[in-house]
Amino acid sequence: MKSLKAQDHPLSSTEEEIRLLESDMPGFKGDRFATEMRSSNLYPLKPTRVEILQINLGKMCNQVCKHCHVDAGPDRKEIMTKDTMLECLEVIKKHEITTVDLTGGAPEMNPDFRWFVESIRAVNEEVNIIVRCNLTIILANPKYHDLPEFYKRHRIEIASSLPYFTALKTDSQRGDGVFDKSIKALKMLNEQGYGIEGSGLILNLVYNPSGAFMPAAQAGLEAEFKKKLADKFGITFNSLFTITNLPISRFLEYLLRTDNYESYMEKLITSFNPVAASGVMCRNTISVGWDGYLYDCDFNQMLEMKVTSEDSQHIREWNEKSLTEREIIVKNHCFGCTAGAGSSCGGATT
């Protein structure tokens, strides 16, 4: 069979990505994921509740990572406005949102980032606020150097990507010099009490594989990361989250360019775990795009597949009943979240 390569499937649009994911390839024709979910009595996939609001503050980033599903970078202009943030604040204020998860790009590069964090705290003192910090942003510009103190002042939980505990693997995925800057930033966070036992300041690391393979067991990787970072750099952190790379955007282009698309999809499909499928993050999370539109998850957002609730597709139209009763959109990329021990923004699901 002729292998699929980048030149065979130019990814000029999200429509091209979806078409490729639904292509009639051996073993995963069209709606294969839906078929697996039906066999596990999980289709149609429905929410359990809406308790996490994951908000994309924009696609601008100081890094250009090879695996990035957001296709983020310094040249991206999509930024959430203060008006859209105000609409998010109304939802946080009026509904039982327990966690607000701020992501990007680099969320800190949104000019209203600090105002938004302070406003979230003002409308809901107890809500857990997570910031997905790439670490290097702290050192990117003097105006960001006080971010660790800002995070501490507002009791922010930090989730930071660190592909590995060595420079070679980290820099190959995230760019030259990223590892050294990340280590410096982690030390700055430790100095504020982040990741220190008993401080109450949570610092979690996020691991994405650097190639066309699934992550190893989360518990084992966490133990290894903790030992290596402590022994060599004196760095401590709370938990390590393993996240499987989903076949969209830059990672999909990588799979096609290296002739790994078919084999990678086969790995995901053969590792389908119905227990992991029952605990996917889209069942208790709504993803808010930089322009306020609503999605089942961050990955569906990048594929521009809005929620099926026709009366609640934008944050200003928030209808919790409709969102809770909706059907979650699933495609073959969802195999990434349901393979093996599962994958979510909070790591393995089983």
Residue 252 tokens read as: 């999909």
pTM of the model: 0.93
Domains of the chain with CATH codes: 6-338 (3.20.20)
- Calpha distance 149→151 (Å, rounded): 5
Report yes or no: 31 and 22 within 8 Å, Cβ to Cβ. Answer: yes
Q: What is the pLDDT of residues 275-324, one digit of tens each?
A: 999 999 999 999 999 999 999 999 999 999 999 999 999 999 999 999 99
Q: What is the pLDDT of residues 236-272, one digit of tens each?
A: 999 999 999 999 989 999 999 999 999 999 999 999 9
Q: What is the pLDDT of residues 64-85, one digit of tens each?
A: 888 888 889 999 999 999 999 9
Angstrom distances, CA of residue 274 to CA of 95, 158, 278, 350: 31, 30, 6, 10
- Calpha distance 210→219 (Å, rounded): 19
Phi-psi sector, 252: left (phi>0), alpha (psi -120 to 50), beta: alpha
